Copies of this chain bind each other. A is one copy, B any other.
Amino acid sequence: MLKVGIVGVGSMGTQHFLRLMTRINNATVTAVSDINAAHAKDVITPYKNVRFIADPISLINDSEVDAVVIVSADKTHEEFCLEALRLKKFVFCEKPLSASSEGAKKVVDAEIAGGKRLIQLGFNRRFDPAYQELKEIVVTGKIGQPLVAHCAHRNATYPAPSDDVVAITGTAIHEIDTMSWLVGDYFTKAQVIFPKTTKYSQNSNLHDPQIVLLTTSSGMVITAEIWVNCQYAYDIRCEVLCEDGTATLPRHARVNVCTKNSSSIGMTSDGLAFFEDSYNAEFQAWADACNNNTYCAAAASAWDGYCAAVTTDSCLKSQKTGAIESVPLTDRPAFYRD
């Protein structure tokens, strides 16, 4: 039974806490930390044997904590990861790995220096059944080599104040990691285009939608539309164009209703609910790996977190220059090849 400590029980952290307590096999939460102590205590009250530990570093060091889940503010991820690495404890860290690509590099270097892969990054889509089927079709080559992919990442409304930076580091980052994983390549060029902005954009610092164009080292082009106030629903699209055909993510399976001259299916605006199965699967995979004293090869690593950070940096630069920017990445080091 894996004993887990969670740092951060905001809305996503609370969901992860409940997931571990009620849905995951062979894991339990023993301690929780949060800057909002009152809220954290409310969250854990219904459950026995879960302690509140105010200081996150103390929680990470606690003897009843075998492994750490980091869902705190983005800027704290680097420090907590480094502390867990120092203690050689397993980590599940929500994206991003760090608030900067330099910070991400430090974590990668520390993990390599430690000689053991301990960090799993929370890029949940790698555990989504539809994305997994899509990857399987592409990598087996049954419809030929991939040339282009068209992606769309749409939030009904963004859950928190957004701006052009968050549109990339909080939203486009998922397409960046997922497509890199899906086609097994990293990006070398990035460009961001601003179409007319929706009237629903929350502030003058947010162009919405945006179109991100990414080129991989092999020349594939990914078009990723990022639209965080699309109003209609949470919606994720992906079509991969291969030399002999195309493969496209499905809509979720929902009951078809015919009424009033319309045939329709429901959609959800809740992004966490949309990917619920993938969150459960990634946590089960993480717990299973920790219980086996290893890492989950299917999951994103610290290196993947670093690559995402470097790529988002280039997107942010292009937002300002309007030009095609290079992405200074290199091939995956041996330590991070499965």
Contact = CB atoms under 8 A, between A and B. Distances in A.
A247 B255 contact: yes
Interface stretch (A4-12, A88-96, A116-124, A228-236): A228-236
Interface in A274-316: 277, 284, 288
Interface of A: 21-26, 129-130, 133-134, 137, 143-145, 147-148, 150, 152, 156, 193, 195-200, 209, 211, 213, 215, 218-221, 223, 225, 227, 230-233, 235, 241, 243-269, 277, 284, 288, 322, 324
B255 A252 contact: no
A214 to B, nearest CB: 11
Contacts of A245: 230-232, 257-260
Contacts of A215: 195
A189 to B, nearest CB: 10
A167 B57 CA distance: 60
A219 B249 CA distance: 29
B133 A254 contact: yes
A322 B193 CA distance: 15
B251 A147 contact: no
A32 to B, nearest CB: 18
A268 to B, nearest CB: 7
Contacts of A195: 147-148, 215, 219-221
A8 to B, nearest CB: 22
B253 A148 contact: no
Contacts of A227: 241
Nearest to A156: B261
B255 A198 contact: no
A268 B261 contact: yes
Nearest to A240: B255
A241 B227 CA distance: 10
Contacts of A263: 233, 251, 264-267
B255 A134 contact: yes
B241 A209 contact: yes
B230 A241 contact: yes
B257 A246 contact: yes
A130 B211 contact: no
A193 to B, nearest CB: 6
Contact of A24 (B25, B252, B268): B25
